[in-house]
Structure 1
Amino acid sequence: MPTITYELADGTRTDIKVDVGANVMRTAIDADIPGIVAECGAAAGAVGLAGMTEPLHADQMQKTFILVHGAWHGGWCWRRVADLLQAQGHKVFTPTLTGLGEKSHLRQDETGLDTHVTDILNLIEWEDLSDIVLVGHSYGGMVITGVANALADKIEAIVYLDAFKPDEGDSVASMADPKTSAYKHKLWDDGTRAWGPLPVDYFSVLPENTDWVTAKMTPQPLRTFLDPSGPVAGGAVIARKTYVRALKFPSLAFDAALAATRGDAGWNTLELDYGHDVMIDYPSQLAAILQDA
């Protein structure tokens, strides 16, 4: 599998494994911006990296991003990535799902997966959005799957960032190992309606970010882990699909999603040697990847 070395303007370098399949990773912006280097093997073709230090040129396309957070998080976790993308001239939405973050006071027993899918569908409708790059992190993969099925014609590209990628009928609980799945169902049967958050170390967050993440996380509506995904076939028509795996976060469900997409010529896959909260720990690297999605 080819490896691309990204070097950002601050000198940071990171190696990213890229499974190009039938789709060589594209470049939306010239690769010769000062301070930006992209190296790859011949098998990967000429792959560039969008620079994060220069605004868009007149001939470069503004994109519309919707960045959907995962469990226990909120729109706050995308702040660093959003700032970088907005500085490039892109339009960025980082909605907080009902019952979490600054909307934690709205959590109810019945807050479930459908609630969160509706959160994003309503955002798209009321903001009149189209040609969207839709990104879902972790549990957010459940959400964007439902959105993609309903509004695929509004979505230009979809990115699963170390995320659940369900088939119809799958839930977060059903995709977990049997012990974890049974535990979540027992919590519900015992009357628990919100769970967590888990300790920040679980996500392999860098030490300098642990206090911030710990302070911001809120309990997750438990029903969101138990609700099954609805139909998923609608999202198959989206032309550009990417799965990104953060390898330092162990997850059998995410490994399975990576394996399934890696074997599909309609998908691009990337493997990052990072912890789970890529948007918090490595915002420059992730912003560059999303610009090229």
Structure 2
Amino acid sequence: MASLYSRFVFSQLSPKPNIHFSKTNAKPLGPLPTFTFKPTLNCTKQDQSTLSSRHFVLVHGAGHGGWVWYKLATKLNEAGHRVSAPDLAASGINPKRLEEVNTFEEYSEPLVEVMEAVPADERVVLVGHSNGGLSVSLAMERFPQKVAAAVFTSAAMPSITNSFVAITKKLIEDVRKDKKDSKDVSGPRRSFSFGPEDLRTNYYQLCAPEDVTLATMLMRPGKPFFDSSVSRDDFVTAENHGSVSRVYVVCNQGRALPRKTQIWMAEMSPETETIELDGADNMPMLSVPEELFSHLVDISNRYQ
């Protein structure tokens, strides 16, 4: 998650309707852990899907799972859309243990399986949150013809002009240094875990108390991946990743990943549309689900 991406960096160092938001600036299936929500028709939000039913693939951030999209997935489902929210490896209810996942590609394999199952004539709206943006970038590179638009929601966003290494350096400069009760484990078994106070204060500060409780009950330890599959210069290319329409959703009340850093990543990705989500912390799918839903439906209607 965008906010969670800051933790991702520090851990490796320690060893669809009209939009009327005033700050919007637009520049013209797999195994058990994948949750797929089938559309429910004749519902109150059906008119939100003005053009057609779409397939949204939602990718969670570090330490989280597909469960984090439960509010947004419900709204999309009620509007007649299909939603896939895979649990990445060793996340959510994915059966793998963290120590069994050694590379970024292994971590992202559940998303790859979802994309492989998408029919050749279908184009999905791919949404990534926090460091889920890296997995979205991998999917864009491998399946560009299957992605109508990629939406980076307060997320890590590599581009053909901004490498993963460059993003890491920028985040080291910009993100907060106070980890509160979150913990990092260095050495061969390096990992990180989020403490309740850190989540409540720096990630979920505008979310309902119930959502903070849910996170503390369901989150699992995460792991930084800096293997060659993610750090190489050709992780994304102009021919594949660069050919996909991209939208960056800036959460302007984010604490763990500052607004200025989100905007910087969007500006470093040529021809990226930027939308600023007012009043959103680093967990917009929980703190402002209705607003994020509206943006995503609008994006799906504009990018076919």
TM-score range, shorter chain: 0.7 to 0.9
Mapped to 1, the partners of 2:173 and 2:264 lie a distance apart of 20
2:235 is matched with 231
Instruction: Say which SS state the counterpart of residue 195 (structure 1) adopts.
Output: strand
8 A Cα contact 2:89 2:101, kept in partner: no
Cα deviation for residue 59 of structure 1 reads 6.5
2:15 paired residue number: none
Correspondent of 1:139 among 131, 136, 152 = 131
Tell me how far 1:286 sits from its aligned partner. 0.9
Sort the Cα spacing of 1:191 and 1:260 in 2 relative to 1 into closer, same or farther, 3 A.
closer
* 1:219 alignment partner, SS class: coil
Q: How many residues align?
A: 250
How far is the alpha carbon of 1:58 from its aligned partner?
A: 9.4
CA offsets 1:75-115 (integer angstroms, 9 cap, x no match): 00001101110111111101111101112653225443212
SS of equivalent residue, structure 1 residue 65 = strand
Runs (4+) of structure 1 exceeding 4 A deviation are 56-59, 171-175, 178-182, 224-227, 251-254, 262-265
The 3 A distance-change label for structure 1 pair 96 and 212 is: same
The answer to whether the Cα contact below 8 Å between 2:157 and 2:266 also exists between their aligned partners in 1 is no
Counterpart code for 1:193: R
Aligned match for 2:281, one of 275, 279, 286: 275
For 1:170, which of 147, 152, 165 is the aligned residue?
Answer: 165
Aligned to 2:4: none
Q: Which has the higher contact order (CA 8 A, sep 6+)?
A: 2
Q: Deviations over 1:37-95 (max 9, x none)?
A: xxxxxxxxxxxxxxx93315997211110000001110000011011101111111011
Within 2, Cα distance between the matches of 1:288 and 1:190? Answer: 44
Alpha-carbon distance in 2 for matches of 1:196, 1:248: 23
Find the aligned partners of 1:211 and 1:224 in 2 and give their Cα distance: 31
Bigger CA radius of gyration: 1
Aligned residue in 2 for 1:219: 221
The reply on whether 1:19 has 2:19 as its aligned counterpart is no
Matched, 1:287 2:293: yes
Q: Which amino acid aligns with 2:287?
A: D
Q: Does 1:69 align with 2:60?
A: yes
Find the residue that maps to 2:220 and give its secondary structure: coil
In 1, distance between residues paired with 2:87 and 2:257? 27
Query: For the residues of structure 2 that align with 1:142 and 1:200, how far apart are their CA atoms?
Result: 21
Q: Specify the SS of the correspondent of 1:269.
A: strand
Pairing 1:117–2:118 present:
no
Query: Gaps (5+ residues) in structure 2?
Result: 1-17, 29-42, 178-183, 300-304
Q: CA RMSD in A?
A: 3.4
- The 1-side partners of 2:262 and 2:90 are apart by 27
Q: What is the one-letter code of the residue matched to 2:138? A: G
Gaps of 5+ in 1: 7-14, 24-51
Identity %: 21
* Aligned residue type for 2:113: N
- TM-score normalised by L of structure 2: 0.71
* Change over 3 Å in CA distance of 1:231–1:87 after alignment to 2: same
